[in-house]
Amino acid sequence: LQLQESGPGLVRPSATLALTCTVSGDSIEGGPYYWGWIRQSPQRGLEWIGSTYYTERAYYNPSLKSRVSISVDTSKNHFSLKLTSVTAADTAVYYCARLGLTYASSIYVWGHGTTVTVS
């Protein structure tokens, strides 16, 4: 199983950050795993953004809930993150991941991460 993040490395303040995670070696459709996003910055450390199952609503970190959405496209076997109204505080390495059998379970497989700078 491999996960690969893709998207712009530079985002303007107040714009929307959009990333995609392409999954290879497993199929999102059919379950049983959850898929999610985590970010890491020197200022905020590791931060759980949210996760989703291909047939369920997503679950989000309450501190980001008003700005974030996670969606799944089973036809392309990928899932996506959108974060609106970004500020410098959203600058971080963003990881996509495969979780376990619940929305906040352990993170079993991590992508390599992609650096996003808000400036």
Residues that bind another protein (CB under 8 A): 45-48, 50, 59-62, 95, 100, 102-108, 110-113
Residue 27 CA to chain centroid, in angstroms? 17
Query: Min. distance of Cβ 36 from another protein in angstroms?
Result: 9
Considering the complex, state which of residue 43 and residue 75 has its C-beta at the smaller distance from another protein. 43
CA–CA distance, 43 with 66 (Å, rounded to integer): 21
Considering the complex, state which of residue 50 and residue 81 has its C-beta at the smaller distance from another protein. 50
Would you say 4 and 59 are in contact if contact means Cβ atoms under 8 Å apart? no
Nearest of 20, 14, 32, 13 to residue 102 by alpha carbon: 32
Considering the complex, state which of residue 66 and residue 106 has its C-beta at the smaller distance from another protein. 106
Query: Min. distance of Cβ 10 from another protein in angstroms?
Result: 20
